[in-house]
Amino acid sequence: MKMLTKPDRDLVRPTLDIIKIERRLFLKQSLSLGALTLLSGCDITNADSVKKVLWGMSHWNDRVQAFLFNPNKLAPIFPESAITKPFPFNAYYSENEVPHVDAALYKLKLGGRIQDKASWQLEQLYALPQTSQITRHVCVEGWSAIGKWSGVTFKTFLERVGADLTAKYVGFVCADDYYTSIDMPTALHPQTLLTFKFADEILPAKYGFPMKLRIPTKLGFKNPKHIMAIFVTNTYPGGYWEDQGYNWFSGL
Amino acid sequence: MANQPSSAALSGRKTAIHPLAVRITHWINAIAIIIMILSGWRIYDASPLFNFEFPGEITLGGWLAGALQWHFAAMWLLVLNGLFYVCYGIITGHFKSNFLPLTWQSLWREFKNALRGQISHELGVYNAVQRAAYIGVICMGAVLVLSGLAIWKPVQFQELTELMGGYEGARLVHFIAMALVVFFILVHLTLVALVPRTLWPMFSGRAAGGQEEAK
C-alpha cells in the first residue's frame, strides 16, 4: 500500500495561478490578520485561533453539504450544442507538465475495503458497460465549462469489485501526484462516472488519460484525473487541495 | 417584546431611537457583510467576470482557499443574523412603523430635496429616501443570499439557479447585488460622516444628551 501514501510535496512544482504567490502569502500572513483587526477593532493576537475557527466552520459545512446532498437529484444535462470549445485545461501545473501514462503498462490498482483487489488493465475497463453524459464542470475558481464524458457508472464498478459500499470514503491516487477523496453517497450517485473518453475520443493526456472520475455533483478539483489507484476506507484520506484549506465535500 | 420601542419612548426625554435588537443585529450585520464583501472580492479575483480585479490588499483571506473559508463561515453569521432581524422587524412592527408609509410622490419629493441639500435630520424618523434605501438594501441582502445559494448549490438547488438565469447568470446577479450593497454602504457612511450625531444612537440607542429629539 506504499502507493497510497501522500505524495512527496517536494516533487510538486506548482505553477497554476491560484497557487503561485497566493500560497506563500497564505502561509506567511495566514488569514489577513491585519484586515480582521481593522474590521472588528479587536486586538487579535492569536492567528491560530482564527484559523481553527475557519477550519472548524469548513468541517461543519462538510456536514451541512452531506445533509443537503440528495442521492437522487440529478445534475442538469446539456445538449451537444452547449459544449464549451475549447474545453479549458486545468491542474495545479501547466499543460506542458501533464503526465504521460503508458497505456500498455497501465494497471489500475485497488486497495482498502475491496474484496477483489486484482488490478485492471485498460481493455478490461473499456469492456465494462459504457455511458455518456454532457454536464457542467464548475471550478472552485468560479468559471464553468460544459463537456461530454463517457465511461462506466462508478457504482457499477464498485459493485463489480466488491467494494464495501457502507464505508465512508473512496480515495484516489493519481499519476501527477494529485490525490483526493469523496464520500460514499456521491461515489454511488447515478451520474458519477469512471470515464475513459472526452468528446467521444479516448481521453487525451491533458484531460486525464487514462481515466478521470467525473462527478457532476462536485467542484472540478474533486474530479481526479490520471487515476492510478482507488481505495475504499473509513479513515479520512484528505486531498491535495483539501489539506491546504479547500473545503473537502465541495458539493454542487 | 412588541411594546419595547414604545415603552422606551414613554420612559422620559431620552427617547430610544434604535431598539436594542436593531443595534445588535446592525453591528453583527456590519461585521458579517464586510467579511463577505472583502472575501468575495478575493474569490472574484480567482476568475474575474469583468475586465478588472480587486487589489489584493483590500481583500480578505490571503488566497482563494482562505477567502472561501471566510466567505462560507461568515455566511452563517449573515444569514442567521439577517433572518432574526427580518423576523423581528415583521413581528414587532418595526418595519411597518419605521419604513412605512412610503409613496412614490414622497420619495420623489424627498429625493429632489436631498439633491438640493435639504435633508430632514430628525433622529429616529426616516425620510422617504432613507425608507426606500433601507427596504432596498434588505431586499438586496435577500438577493445576495439567494444568488449565493444558487452558485454554491447549482445541482441541489438547481431550480433556484435556473431562476437566476443559470449558473453564470447567478454569478452576475450575485455580483450586481454586491455592487448595490457596496454603493449603499458608501452612501450610508457618507451620510453618517455628514451628520455624525446619528452614529452614537446606533450604539446607545439614545441621542447624546437627549435634547436633540426636541421637536
Q: What is the pLDDT of residues A168-200, one digit of tens each?
A: 999 999 999 999 999 999 999 999 999 999 999
End-to-end CA distance of chain B: 27
* C-alpha separations of A109 from A1, A85, A121, A215 in Å: 10, 33, 9, 20
Binary contact (A141, B44; C-beta < 8 A): no
Q: What is the pLDDT of residue A19?
A: 43
Q: What is the pLDDT of residue B118?
A: 74
CB of A68 within 8 Å of a chain B CB? The answer is: yes
Tell me how far apart the alpha carbons of residues A41 and A38 are, in angstroms, rounded to a whole number.
5
Binary contact (A26, B168; C-beta < 8 A): no
CB of A78 within 8 Å of a chain B CB? The answer is: no
Mean pLDDT of B110-123: 75
CA distance A244 to chain B (A): 8
Mean pLDDT of A197-207: 95
Mean pLDDT of B111-133: 77
Does B101 score more than 70 pLDDT?
A: yes
Q: What is the pLDDT of residue A67?
A: 97
CB under 8 A, 24+ apart: contacts of A99-102: A99/A175, A99/A176, A99/A205, A99/A226, A100/A205, A100/A209, A101/A175, A101/A205, A101/A209, A101/A210, A101/A226, A101/A228
CB of B41 within 8 Å of a chain A CB? The answer is: no
Does A80 score more than 80 pLDDT?
A: yes
CB of B53 within 8 Å of a chain A CB? The answer is: no
Q: Which of A68, A138, A245 lies closest to B156 in CB terms?
A: A68
Does A3 score more than 70 pLDDT?
A: no
- pLDDT grade for B103, boundaries at 50, 70 and 90: confident
CB of A32 within 8 Å of a chain B CB? The answer is: yes
CB of A40 within 8 Å of a chain B CB? The answer is: yes
> Which position has the higher pLDDT, B113 or B144?
B144
Q: What is the pLDDT of residue B209?
A: 58
User: Considering only alpha carbons, which residue of chain B is nearest residue A135?
Assistant: B155
The percentage of residues in chain B with a pLDDT greater than 70, rounded to a whole number, is: 86
Does A25 score more than 60 pLDDT?
A: no
User: Considering only alpha carbons, which residue of chain A is nearest residue B66?
Assistant: A31
Tell me how far apart the alpha carbons of residues A29 and A38 are, in angstroms, rounded to a whole number.
15
Q: Is the dihedral of CA A218, A222, A228, A231 positive or negative?
A: negative
Does B68 score more than 80 pLDDT?
A: yes
CB of B78 within 8 Å of a chain A CB? The answer is: no
Binary contact (B65, A216; C-beta < 8 A): no
**Residue A95, number of CB atoms within 10 A of its CB:** 11
**Residue A2, number of CB atoms within 10 A of its CB:** 4
Length of chain A: 252
- pLDDT grade for A76, boundaries at 50, 70 and 90: very high
A-B contacts (CB, under 8 Å): 105
Cell 497510497 maps to which residue? Answer: A4
> Which position has the higher pLDDT, B127 or A15?
B127
- Of A149, A168, A169, the closest CA to residue A209 belongs to A149
Q: What is the pLDDT of residue B120?
A: 67
Which of A18, A54, A70 should be substituted to probe chain B, the one whose Cβ sees the most B Cβ atoms within 10 Å?
Answer: A54
Q: Which of A26, A54, A73 lies closest to B73 in CB terms?
A: A54
Binary contact (B156, A25; C-beta < 8 A): no
Which helix (H) or strand (E) segment is B144 a member of?
Answer: helix B128-152
Q: Which of A23, A54, A252 lies closest to B155 in CB terms?
A: A252
Is residue A241 within 8 Å of A178, Cβ to Cβ?
no
User: Considering only alpha carbons, which residue of chain B is nearest residue A21?
Assistant: B63
Does A16 score more than 60 pLDDT?
A: no
Mean pLDDT of chain A: 86
Q: What is the pLDDT of residue B126?
A: 81
Does A5 score more than 60 pLDDT?
A: no
Q: What is the DSSP letter of A198?
A: E
Q: Is B157 exposed, middle or buried (0-12, 13-18, 19+ CB in 10 A)?
A: buried
- pLDDT grade for B10, boundaries at 50, 70 and 90: very low
Chain B residues touching residue A216 (CB < 8 angstroms): 155
Does B208 score more than 60 pLDDT?
A: yes
Binary contact (A141, B46; C-beta < 8 A): yes
Binary contact (B65, A57; C-beta < 8 A): no
Does A35 score more than 90 pLDDT?
A: no
Tell me how far apart the alpha carbons of residues A206 and A250 are, in angstroms, rounded to a whole number.
23
Its ipTM equals 0.83
- pLDDT grade for A160, boundaries at 50, 70 and 90: very high
E strand segments, A38-168:
109-112, 131-138, 144-153
Query: Crossing angle of helices B20-46/B166-194, nearest 10°?
Result: 130
Per-residue pLDDT reduced to its tens digit, B144-160: 999 999 999 999 999 99
Chain A residues touching residue B46 (CB < 8 angstroms): 17-18, 140-142
Is residue A118 within 8 Å of A110, Cβ to Cβ?
yes
Q: What is the pLDDT of residue B123?
A: 66
Is residue B23 within 8 Å of B212, Cβ to Cβ?
no
Is residue B43 within 8 Å of B71, Cβ to Cβ?
yes
Mean pLDDT of A154-180: 96
Does A112 score more than 70 pLDDT?
A: yes
| Grid coordinates given for A52 | 481553527
| Prediction pTM value | 0.83
Binary contact (B38, A35; C-beta < 8 A): yes
Q: What is the pLDDT of residue B125?
A: 75
Per-residue pLDDT reduced to its tens digit, A211-247: 999 999 999 999 999 999 999 999 999 999 999 999 9
The percentage of residues in chain A with a pLDDT greater than 90, rounded to a whole number, is: 80
State which amino acid sits at residue A11: L
> Which position has the higher pLDDT, A6 or A128?
A128
Q: Which of A22, A36, A138 lies closest to B167 in CB terms?
A: A138
CB of B168 within 8 Å of a chain A CB? The answer is: yes
CB of B66 within 8 Å of a chain A CB? The answer is: yes
H helical segments located in A69-135:
122-126
- pLDDT grade for A29, boundaries at 50, 70 and 90: very low
In chain B, positions 106-125, which contact chain A (CB-CB < 8 Å)? none
Binary contact (A142, B68; C-beta < 8 A): no
Per-residue pLDDT reduced to its tens digit, B77-91: 999 999 999 999 999
Which distant-in-sequence residues (6+ apart) come within 8 Å of A209 by Cβ?
A: A100, A101, A103, A202, A203, A226
b/e B77-99 (16+ beta carbons within 10 angstroms → b)? bbbebbeebeebbeebebbeebb
Does B104 score more than 90 pLDDT?
A: no
